Amino acid sequence: MKAALRFIGWVGAASVLSSITAPHFPSLLNQILGDTFGSTFAVIPFVALFAVIFAFRWRDLEQVLEAEGGLNTLLRTRLVGVVALVVLALLEPLTGGAVETSAIAVVLTFYAASLALNPLTAKFLLPYAAVLSVGVSAPSLLQWAFGAPLASLSSVFSAQLVGFLGVHVVWQGTQFEFVSRTGQLVSAVVTPDCSGIVSVTTFLGLLALMHIDMHKDLRSTATLAVAGTAALAVLNCVRIMLLIWVGYGFGSSAFWGLHYWLGYAEFLGFYLAALAVYSRMGKQNPGLYPGNSGLPYTPS
């Protein structure tokens, strides 16, 4: 009960502080989710992922939160947290223009608040704060750098797959169009958003968290990272093929109605399968991550 109250207090305090360090984040996020249903921002899968992780690891976190220590405990760590909160507040004008920088500010605010309120959480929360910060920022950067060529590659492979369906589709680079059985002309473009980068970064973030929690050997993690990235690239092409097949059979409304949902269903199934496979792979290194061993962190 004491740990739960401390956790609620920490989340509440961090939420209030986030309104100072990243006040534009809610409106920016609402705009993106309203425009694209989250297809260009990984907040939905990552927030859901972290909720599940904290639920499963509550006993570990509870031990840390219940560790005794007054206000004099690890004063340097508390000071680092306070200074970080002040710096984030001063840098707020730089985070208001993009949802990614605002999201990173929110993550860092939560972590800095945890250092100030309970410095014993430092090692426990650091890997999660790092993975989440990278997870919400990497997709946009990668789409900017590699989105266009990956979209072109996806178009080429999708065109090959669609050929097996016997559907006549006219491709012009990443743009395609076809006439459905209902007589409608359906046209669309494989944009960098459709290149599958978000699904890959979400998967790699999930894999990083599983590596931290399960203490697997690095070879198993790297093997699944490479295989999973390749599999997701193929799955993205299958997604485009299925959208065209549905659009051909049922028209434009069915095509666009399925567009925002199919990726979530397809990739979520892949993530669950990857979790099952990874849990059976390789060996564990229990001494590799002392800050996540399930024991309270005690300063050296």
How many CB atoms lie under 10 A from the CB of residue 269? 11
DSSP 8-state class, residue 188: E
pTM of the model: 0.73
pLDDT of residue 24: 81
What is the bridge-based pairing of β-strands 170-172 and 175-179? antiparallel
* Residue pair 178/248 in contact by the 8 Å Cβ criterion: yes
pLDDT in tens, 208-259: 888 887 888 889 999 999 999 999 999 999 999 999 999 999 999 999 888 8
DSSP 8-state class, residue 37: T
Reply yes or no on whether the pLDDT at 292 is more than 60. no
- CA of residue 39 relative to chain centroid, distance: 11
178: CB partners within 8 A, 6+ apart: 167, 168, 169, 170, 185, 186, 244, 247, 248
How many CB atoms lie under 10 A from the CB of residue 268? 14
Strands (E) across 152-278 are located at: 170-172, 175-179, 185-189
pLDDT confidence bin for 72, thresholds 50/70/90: confident
In residues, how long is the chain?
A: 300
Q: What average pLDDT score do residues 113-131 get?
A: 88
* Residue pair 282/219 in contact by the 8 Å Cβ criterion: yes
pLDDT of residue 178: 94
Angle at 287 between CA 291 and CA 221, to 5 degrees: 90
pLDDT of residue 32: 61
pLDDT confidence bin for 100, thresholds 50/70/90: confident
215: CB partners within 8 A, 6+ apart: 284, 285, 286, 288, 289, 292
The alpha-carbon radius of gyration of the chain (Å, integer) is 22
DSSP 8-state class, residue 284: B
pLDDT in tens, 136-192: 788 778 888 888 899 999 999 999 999 888 889 999 999 999 999 989 999 999 988
